Structure 1
Amino acid sequence: MVLSDHYLTFVKDQVELLAKVFAHVDVYVRYHPVTEISRVFPTPRLKAFRKDSLIDRTNMPESVSIHPVSLFYLPCDHQFKRIGERHYNAVEDRLQKSRVYPDLIHAHFIWPNGFVGAMLKKEYGIPFVVTAHGYDIYDLPFRDAEWKERIEATLNAADVVITVSNSNRECVERLNVTAPVKVVPNGFRHDQFYPMETELCRKNLNLPIDRKIILSVGNLVEVKGHTYLIDAMSEVVRERMDVLCLIVGRGELKHRLEKKISSLGLEQYVRLVGGKPHNEMPLWMNASDVFVLPSLRESFGIVQVEAMACGKPVVATKNGGSEEIVIPGKTGLLCDVADPRGLAESILRALDTPWDTNAIVKGSRLYSWESIRKDILSVYSDLI
């Protein structure tokens, strides 16, 4: 059994890969019913999280069953704390009705999915693995004493805790956790992300051929640091004007970022191009000259690995996850977080550097799902 939020791409890919060694896999996907409003008001942001969008069966083996779990809660900390029990009741009710119980539970994100896994282990004695991906380990347990207690209890209930980076493991070590912890990064699909002809990709996306393209991909939220990237582009265009920065993503900061672009007079140099389907991302990666990840905090950042797999150098901040991936001078450059001037200098340097594309691609191979698959299966086989 897999417990996840919104059936994120890295979870879907992992399930697809690992399902081949199991007779059957049940995936319980938590979603917020308010997103169903998009059937009446078809806004792009809501549509991406609509129930029928979440149940993406592309390439998925027939042995995988996907079960949407609707949970309504107000977007506040108090409400989020309370959904764990409701999530457990919904999943446990379905198990009772089906009378089919799994041999293993793998929950992605400690809360609330990990809590559900911990409760199911307690009730039925099923081996339980939880993956701490990001905010659930570097943010939630340090908000207050109640969150700390909840997260520690869930982690200690697990037979194995997986987390995607060493910086995340350091967060676990700051807690009172006795369960074994293994670092297993997220992976990318090498059959989708590989070097393609840049000019052809640009033509397919109707992008200019004669400009240096800087690409950033991420939700338009504060932690992704796009405001600092826009400030950095103001510095970049003082040095060279043949550049175009494309920001792929959707989110609550869209209008604020648009105003910032306008106020700095960067309309010809920075574009918010909206969210794009994941299967289109290889085109955007290959159309670029440099990929930028300006995040204030990042547990791993699979997008930078996908860019590397396409042979593109990465300019990233020292955000916690990128330091473990980017090799300065070989696969990209690192700079301080929230430092537009330093980010601008790194972008300009990256644009002027003759990068070894083969070396960058080689640096990504460690993170292909084929490499990571054996680490996850090793965890599973020790428990079953």
Structure 2
Amino acid sequence: MKSKNLLIIANSFPHKNCLYGGIFVKEQVDVIAENFNKIYVIAPTPHLPEFFGRFEWIPECWRKGINPIDYTYNNISVYFPNFFVPPIHFIREKYAEGAYKSALKLISEKNINFDIIHAHFIYYAGYVGAKLKEKYKKPLIITGHGTDVYELPFKYKNFEKMAKYAISEADYVTTVSKSNYIKLIELGVKKEKVTVIQNAYDANKFKQISKEECKDRLNISKKSKIILSVGMLEEIKGHKYLINAMKKVVDEKQNVLCFIIGGGQLKARLQKLINDLNLNNYVKLVCAKPHDEIPLWMNACDLFVLPSLSESFGIVQIEAMACGKHVVATRNGGSEEIVINEKLGYLVEPKNSDELAEKILLALNKEWDKEYILNYVKKFSSDEIAKETLKIYEKVID
């Protein structure tokens, strides 16, 4: 395998103006890199003229990262070929063809040679991968992550058509959860061609560090119980339900402080909710932080909360557990496969602030077995997950 070149096609990949986009792809790439001669990452990027940067309804990463810059590190080269599509929902079905053409042009211009294609997300990266497989006759693996599996193909006919085309071309399909696995079977993937390989965390970054040391570095009060949530400020992340829950938590327990880390278009609306509920001293919106800084926050907290309405997996809760933290999460489709018992945390119904507040208070007052949590989470380490991924590569290339 070390003589082979791997081509990764991704919907997004981290760059200086968008630190989180595709971070789980990057972490997998970093771990498997030593097994390849060269890895090329192509993340076709919708191009928006600067005029569109003034509109807050356009995703923040698009507005800030209009022209992400290509970069190389170690044996990994990352490219962001542009393609123009107006940021209007009903036109988004055309992304796939634009993304394919931009990737094809880049491969030709850079004279990129590859032996395996791995596309992350069925749409639109999977579609791009399928077209490249047809042209270059190289084996294709597609990983389905979230809405590309359980929502878009079942909601829109055009997405269904493109998804079925992509997975029909794939030599193998992986996905991050059992619930996604069931949806892939419904889409027509044969059982012998699909498996679950869950997202991984970086054990070198996410590990226990002194809580007091982390609080000192972040200038956080040592007297307060810290509640942490990390995620884009979008409706699907359910932050407003956490904020409403905090009103009830504060009524019972005043020595609490909740930090919500992330950027996004709902920041002003969420801040207004905090103001209206008089929670300015108890809930803080913190702008998006570099991924390398997140372990400090997780080690500084007493409890991690994931209030999402829907998750394909939810790697942040695994990262929190790797720091020895228990979790309160919603039954969002992904957390049920992670928080499998009450030694790890609690599950609540989505959109239920009362139940969320109840479990937060219960979690803050409970004595937790950190060693149990730390031992449980080891199976999600990047080294373990990489072994499973490499087995798939070897299978399709033989």
TM-score bracket, normalised by the shorter chain, equals over 0.9
Is structure 2 residue 269 aligned with structure 1 residue 256?
yes
Structure 1, unaligned runs of 5 or more: none
Distance 1:21 1:333, change over 3 A: same
Secondary structure of the equivalent of 1:162? Answer: strand
Of 264-273 and 26-35, deviating more is 26-35
Match of 2:17 in 1: none
Is structure 2 residue 8 aligned with structure 1 residue 2?
yes
Measured against aligned partners, the alpha-carbon deviations of 1:156-190 in whole angstroms (never above 9, x if no partner) come to 11111110011111221222333711100111111
Residues in 2 aligned to 1:230 and 1:261: alpha-carbon distance in whole angstroms: 7
The answer to whether the Cα contact below 8 Å between 1:216 and 1:292 also exists between their aligned partners in 2 is: yes
Is structure 2 residue 127 aligned with structure 1 residue 115?
yes
Report the CA distance between 1:250 and its aligned residue: 0.7
Report the CA distance between 1:50 and its aligned residue: 2.6
The answer to whether the Cα contact below 8 Å between 2:97 and 2:128 also exists between their aligned partners in 1 is: yes
Residues in 2 aligned to 1:96 and 1:151: alpha-carbon distance in whole angstroms: 26
The answer to whether the Cα contact below 8 Å between 1:6 and 1:54 also exists between their aligned partners in 2 is: no
Is structure 2 residue 393 aligned with structure 1 residue 383?
no
Report the CA distance between 1:68 and its aligned residue: 1.4
The answer to whether the Cα contact below 8 Å between 1:121 and 1:127 also exists between their aligned partners in 2 is: yes
Secondary structure of the equivalent of 2:24? Answer: helix
Report the CA distance between 1:296 and its aligned residue: 0.5
Measured against aligned partners, the alpha-carbon deviations of 1:33-59 in whole angstroms (never above 9, x if no partner) come to 338789999xx94599637866565xx
Report the CA distance between 1:134 and its aligned residue: 0.9
Match of 1:163 in 2: 175
In structure 1, what residue type is equivalent to 2:12?
H
The answer to whether the Cα contact below 8 Å between 2:53 and 2:63 also exists between their aligned partners in 1 is: no
Residues in 2 aligned to 1:188 and 1:227: alpha-carbon distance in whole angstroms: 27
Residues in 2 aligned to 1:219 and 1:340: alpha-carbon distance in whole angstroms: 19
Match of 1:224 in 2: 237
Q: Which runs of 4+ in 1 moved over 4 A?
A: 35-41, 44-49, 51-57
The counterpart of 2:77, out of the listed 53, 65, 89, is 65
Measured against aligned partners, the alpha-carbon deviations of 1:343-376 in whole angstroms (never above 9, x if no partner) come to 1111001001101111111121111001101100
The counterpart of 1:358, out of the listed 371, 393, 396, is 371
In structure 2, what residue type is equivalent to 1:27?
V
Is structure 2 residue 338 aligned with structure 1 residue 325?
yes
Match of 2:19 in 1: none
Report the CA distance between 1:276 and its aligned residue: 0.6
Is structure 2 residue 18 aligned with structure 1 residue 11?
no
Is structure 2 residue 157 aligned with structure 1 residue 145?
yes
The answer to whether the Cα contact below 8 Å between 1:35 and 1:49 also exists between their aligned partners in 2 is: no
Measured against aligned partners, the alpha-carbon deviations of 1:280-316 in whole angstroms (never above 9, x if no partner) come to 0000000100000000000011100000000010000
Is structure 2 residue 96 aligned with structure 1 residue 90?
no
Report the CA distance between 1:25 and its aligned residue: 1.1
In structure 2, what residue type is equivalent to 1:112?
Y
Q: What is the total number of aligned residue pairs between the two structures?
A: 379
The answer to whether the Cα contact below 8 Å between 1:333 and 1:346 also exists between their aligned partners in 2 is: yes
The answer to whether the Cα contact below 8 Å between 1:105 and 1:126 also exists between their aligned partners in 2 is: yes
Distance 1:35 1:49, change over 3 A: farther
The counterpart of 2:384, out of the listed 367, 371, 375, is 371
In structure 1, what residue type is equivalent to 2:145?
H
In structure 1, what residue type is equivalent to 2:152?
L
Secondary structure of the equivalent of 1:213? Answer: strand
Secondary structure of the equivalent of 1:136? Answer: helix
The answer to whether the Cα contact below 8 Å between 2:164 and 2:187 also exists between their aligned partners in 1 is: yes
Distance 1:225 1:145, change over 3 A: same
Distance 1:295 1:242, change over 3 A: same
Structure 2, unaligned runs of 5 or more: 1-6, 14-21
The answer to whether the Cα contact below 8 Å between 1:250 and 1:274 also exists between their aligned partners in 2 is: yes
Secondary structure of the equivalent of 1:210? Answer: coil
Secondary structure of the equivalent of 2:325? Answer: coil
State the TM-score, normalized to the length of structure 2.
0.90
The answer to whether the Cα contact below 8 Å between 2:120 and 2:143 also exists between their aligned partners in 1 is: yes
Report the CA distance between 1:263 and its aligned residue: 0.9
Report the CA distance between 1:122 and its aligned residue: 1.3
Distance 1:308 1:55, change over 3 A: farther
Alpha-carbon RMSD? 2.2
Residues in 1 aligned to 2:76 and 2:159: alpha-carbon distance in whole angstroms: 33
The counterpart of 1:33, out of the listed 47, 51, 58, is 47
Secondary structure of the equivalent of 1:32? Answer: strand
Report the CA distance between 1:239 and its aligned residue: 1.0
